[in-house]
Amino acid sequence: QAQSLSHTRNRLASINHLTRSILPVFRGKPPSLPTHKTHPPKESTPQAIPLIQCQQNKGNPRRLKQLGLPATKTFDTFDPTLSTIPAHTLSFLEGLEWIDRKENLVLAGPAGTGKSHLAAALAQKTVQHGGNAAWLTLPDLERLVASHRVDYTIEKTMNKLARNNLIIIDDIGLLPITQTAAEGFYRICDAAYERTSLLITTNQHPSHFDKIMPTSLATAAVDRLLHHAHIHITSGDSIRLTHSLNNTTKQA
């Protein structure tokens, strides 16, 4: 019986020792891990469905309305015979593959040569195929920078804009460009770089933007804009003026 009691005491002592060695793990800082760490497999991130694989959905009036574009500015109303952009290029752009690849598009040329109409048609088609688009001007970017700089949320605002599949900045160079507007242009180019597609319409080639905005901002913005960009130059007479003259002739 004495031997049995001694054996029991030894067992209790062993249990108490084991308990004291375990409790600090739960009460305090865990012991240091071995230097060879193992990492759990990363979960796969859901990939966005390419726009070219989405079925066209013309029944999306809410997002089209939010885009704020005239319903008439579509590919159905765009006359390719009046555009100096080749037909095969127009077909490529309308296919939207370049947006899936997060490439940019520059439409440069005189006023009235169909740049904004084509940009609007591409924006509407992007939305119809399940994507998101944003339409901006440099004055819009100027207001964004001015209103969000005071509370240091401008970077967050630009990153939110960059979640769109396509961001259009219309008519660069048409109006005088302030320092704040130029900063807004740089910021959106930086936020969108290799994350989404930018489309700009302008009456000047981007290589001349240093003549219409501060050189440092222009250089940095254009560097990001043109890295993965398709550049198409429009030319010819104003389509609007031609239509107006034709209508005047018919009425006469």
Domain containing 88 — which CATH number? 3.40.50.300
Distance of CA 222 to the CA centre of its chain: 16
Residues 61-103: tens digit of each pLDDT: 677 777 777 778 899 999 999 999 999 999 999 999 999 999 9
CA-CA-CA-CA torsion sign (70, 198, 205, 215) = positive
Higher pLDDT, 236 or 1: 236
pTM of the model: 0.74
pLDDT value of position 142: 97
Collapse the DSSP code of 150 into the 3-class scheme (helix H, G, I; strand E, B; otherwise coil) and give the result: coil
157 within some domain: yes
pLDDT value of position 29: 40
38 within some domain: no
Collapse the DSSP code of 243 into the 3-class scheme (helix H, G, I; strand E, B; otherwise coil) and give the result: helix
Higher pLDDT, 141 or 48: 141
167 within some domain: yes
Contact 123, 166 (CB under 8 A): yes
6 within some domain: no
Please state the domain count of the chain. 1
249 within some domain: no
43 within some domain: no
23 within some domain: no
Domain that holds residue 239: 51-243
CA 61/CA 57 separation, integer angstroms: 10
Residue 52 has pLDDT above 60, yes or no: no
Higher pLDDT, 118 or 174: 118
166 within some domain: yes
Contact 129, 159 (CB under 8 A): no
Residues 127-144: tens digit of each pLDDT: 999 999 999 999 999 999
